[in-house]
């Protein structure tokens, strides 16, 4: 069949089906949610949102509602305590102001959350699913991970106040080691205090190699527990072909109001920005009054639009220009004959200039003319 | 091997930066030939250079049209692109400063009017000092804004201070030092890691030799 772009599922739609299947096979349950949430919920938790601008409207009962700008907050809000482990996935639209357009956009987001008494297996399973998600997007991918506990302890070892620590973490996220000395000087901290931190944020490579390098950093704080967590999270990838695509990189930072422990970002070749983001977010759970742990990730399908974007060259295969007054049944029959060759057919009484078609055929006197190039 | 796409800032700084890349082994002889061409390739060392407007380098790199590029720290601070900042090249050194007419006295009872093309830098600077300001965004000839009464002060790049002097302005405060930085697209850093790390190491060695 040559049935074209319009009739086939879009690559992102196929990806969503494939991810649903993947997550279901690991026992994750689909979580459907309403598009709306009470605005008050987001206004109390604005610090956790990507953007504090939210589309609001007044419901028929007078309540101020919001179109969901985020999925995770709603899942946490509705997650019961003391119910063991809850494994959920979603594919939902969220409504946010994007940096590039500066206006609201509907963004398709697919992700999963593991909430409850999470343990090292839960974490490594989520990381494994993140890597499998990237594999389904493109075989040329990279899952980069970091540990906020390690970064936090190295940053604290430099000394200085909260503002200085925040500036140091900004340097980490941009791999900027050259501005650290001036940050220390302006904070009245000896430059030598930052030596271990600089070495840490320069590290990037295969997990086993980076773990060894951390151990050799002179003046490093005690991060044995955190390094142990990194090593144990990698266990699931033993003998896996995707192991070579996993990189430890301390430029993956994450908001410390939200995340704690291991955080990760996923990249695929051909997309200039990270397409997947996730990690442990026990800190967010505490701030929302929950005692249990949580780990999850989301993939942003809007970022994949260009990756899959074989631009559709034609609107239809055939433009069938019929003679006015022709018998509708005969026009339909002619179109169906072309359909049977796998072609999409646009029937029109007059040629439409801005409609791009591979072939233009004429239907006159009960016959289709100009089909020479059609096999 | 894939080409490494490099965005360079047009102008004097760009030529200096190119010499540094050339000395590090990433030359592209056609680049300095006169003409209006903007894209140059060298199929010996797989580098492809683009000349772009200095303030656009970060845009090209952030959106992945260029894998790496060279941008001033002022541009990086102003536009806050989501890129890696791999190296301080130590070229194009200058400062972002607050300048005002020589007889300027900050009347703290009034909102301070600040003319600048660096709106974010100015806003952050005054937010830290707690001063209430109005930003007057301009794209050029910033120095005349206080002379014509459009603003009280300006926030702008100062290299030698000659332009300020000639317009009877003087520096009130220094906000940040500026120099050219090597920046990289985050995804390119993953997928062209060897090429980018190799280039960074060679440039770093070059800078070390110069300094």
Place of tokens 């029109």: A348
Residue A373 has pLDDT above 80, yes or no: no
Give the model's pLDDT for residue A1. Answer: 40
Range of the domain at A357: 316-369
Neighbouring residues of B63: CB distance < 8 A, sequence distance ≥ 6: A272, B185
> Per the domain annotation, does A19 fall within a domain?
no
Q: Is pLDDT larger for residue A91 or for residue A254?
A: A91
Nearest Cβ partner of B185 from A178, A251, A272?
A272
> Is residue A5's pLDDT more than 80?
no
- Cα separation of B8 and B57, whole Å? 7
Q: Does residue B106 belong to the interface with chain A, where contact is any CB pair within 8 Å?
A: no
Q: Test B86 with A175 for CB contact under 8 angstroms.
A: yes
- Higher-confidence residue: A81 or B170? B170
- Hey, is A204 helix, strand or coil? strand
Please answer whether residues B9 and B52 qualify as being in contact, where contact means their C-beta atoms are separated by less than 8 angstroms.
yes
For residue A362, tell me if it sits in a domain.
yes
CB contact under 8 A, B191 and A175: no
Answer yes or no: is A351 within a domain: yes
Mean pLDDT of chain A: 89
Is there a domain that residue A127 lies in? no
Q: What tens digit of pLDDT does each residue of B130-158 get?
A: 899 999 999 989 999 999 999 999 999 99
Q: List the beta bridge partners of residue A299.
A: A110, A276
- Is there a domain that residue A340 lies in? yes
CB contact under 8 A, B186 and A274: yes
Nearest-angstrom CA–CA distance, B209 and B206: 5
Task: Report the gap between the CA of B159 and the closest CA in chain A (Å).
Answer: 20
- Whole-number pLDDT of residue A7: 59
Among the partner-chain residues B64, B84, B177, the one whose CB lies closest to the CB of A272 is B64
In a domain, A305, yes or no: no
Taking CA atoms, what residue in A is nearest to B189?
Answer: A272
Contact A144 B64 (CB under 8 A): no
CA–CA dist B27, B21 (Å, integer): 6
Whether chain A has a CB inside 8 Å of the CB on B138: the answer is no
Does some domain include residue A346? yes
Q: What's this model's pTM, rounded to 2 decimal places?
A: 0.84
pLDDT by residue (tens digit) across A164-206? 999 999 999 999 999 999 999 999 999 999 999 999 999 999 9
Contacts of A182 in chain B (CB under 8 A): 177
Chain A CA closest to residue B177: A182
For the stretch A8-65, pLDDT in tens is 667 888 899 999 999 999 999 999 888 888 888 888 887 777 777 888 999 999 999 9
B83 compared with B103, residue with greater pLDDT: B83
Contacts of residue B190 in chain A, CB cutoff 8 Å? 142, 144, 247, 267, 269
Tokens 């407007």 found at: B53
- Number of neighbours of residue B166 by Cβ within 10 angstroms: 9
Residue A104, domain member (yes or no): no
The structural domain count of chain A equals 1
Contact B177 A176 (CB under 8 A): no
Cβ of B187 within 8 Å of Cβ of A182? The answer is no
Secondary structure E strands in chain B: 4-9, 39-42, 47-52, 68-72, 84-88, 94-101, 112-116, 133-137, 153-158, 169-178, 180-184
Whether the CB of B53 is below 8 Å from some CB of chain A: the reply is no
């Amino acid at each position: 069949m040559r049935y074209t772009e319009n009739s086939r599922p879009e690559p992102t739609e196929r990806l969503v089906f494939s991810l649903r299947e993947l997550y279901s096979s690991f026992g994750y349950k689909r979580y459907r949610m309403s598009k709306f949430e009470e605005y008050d919920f987001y206004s109390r938790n604005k610090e956790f949102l990507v953007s504090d601008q939210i589309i609001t409207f007044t419901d028929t009962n007078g309540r101020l509602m919001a179109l969901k700008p985020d999925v995770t907050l709603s899942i946490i809000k509705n997650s019961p305590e003391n119910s063991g482990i809850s494994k959920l996935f979603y594919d939902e639209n969220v409504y946010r102001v994007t940096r590039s357009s500066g206006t609201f956009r509907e963004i398709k987001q697919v992700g999963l959350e593991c909430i409850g008494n999470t343990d090292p297996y839960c974490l490594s399973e989520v990381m494994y699913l993140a890597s499998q998600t990237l594999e389904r997007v493109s075989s040329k991918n990279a899952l980069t991970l970091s540990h906020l506990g390690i970064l936090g302890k190295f940053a604290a070892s430099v000394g200085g106040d909260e503002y200085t620590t925040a500036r140091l973490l900004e340097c980490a996220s941009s791999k900027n080691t050259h501005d650290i000395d001036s940050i220390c000087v302006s904070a009245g901290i000896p430059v030598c205090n930052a030596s271990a931190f600089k070495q840490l944020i320069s590290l990037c490579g295969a997990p086993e190699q980076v773990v060894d390098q951390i151990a050799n950093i002179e003046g490093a704080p005690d991060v044995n527990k955190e390094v142990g967590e990194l090593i144990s999270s990698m266990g699931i990838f033993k003998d896996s072909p995707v192991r070579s695509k996993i990189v430890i990189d301390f430029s993956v930072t994450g908001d410390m109001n939200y995340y704690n422990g291991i955080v990760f970002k996923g990249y695929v070749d051909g997309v200039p920005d990270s397409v997947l983001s996730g990690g442990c977010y026990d800190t967010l759970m505490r701030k929302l009054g929950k005692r249990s742990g949580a780990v999850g990730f989301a993939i942003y399908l809007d970022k994949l639009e260009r990756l899959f974007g074989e631009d559709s060259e034609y609107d239809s295969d055939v433009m069938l220009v019929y003679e006015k007054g022709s018998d509708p049944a005969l026009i339909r029959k002619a179109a169906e004959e072309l359909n049977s060759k796998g072609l999409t057919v646009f029937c029109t009484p007059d040629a439409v200039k801005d409609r791009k078609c591979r072939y233009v055929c004429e239907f006159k006197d009960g016959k289709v003319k100009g089909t020479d190039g059609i096999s | 091997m894939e080409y490494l796409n490099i965005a360079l800032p047009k102008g004097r700084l760009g030529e200096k930066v190119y010499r540094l890349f050339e000395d590090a082994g990433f030359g592209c002889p056609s680049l300095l030939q006169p003409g209006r061409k903007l894209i140059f390739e060298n199929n010996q060392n797989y580098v492809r250079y683009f000349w772009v407007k200095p303030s656009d380098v970060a845009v090209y790199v952030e959106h992945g049209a260029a894998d790496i590029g060279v941008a001033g720290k002022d541009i990086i601070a102003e536009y806050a692109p989501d890129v890696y900042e791999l190296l301080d090249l130590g070229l194009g050194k200058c400062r972002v400063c607050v300048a005002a007419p020589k007889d300027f006295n900050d009347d703290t009872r009034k909102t301070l009017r600040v003319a600048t093309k660096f709106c974010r830098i100015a806003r952050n600077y005054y937010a830290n000092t707690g001063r209430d300001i109005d930003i007057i965004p301009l794209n050029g000839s910033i120095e005349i804004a206080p002379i014509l009464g459009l603003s009280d002060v300006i926030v702008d790049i100062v290299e030698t201070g000659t332009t300020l002097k000639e317009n009877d302005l003087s520096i009130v405060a220094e906000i940040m030092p500026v120099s050219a930085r090597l920046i990289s697209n985050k995804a390119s850093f993953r997928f062209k890691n060897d090429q980018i790390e190799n280039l960074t190491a060679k440039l770093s060695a070059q800078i070390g030799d110069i300094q």
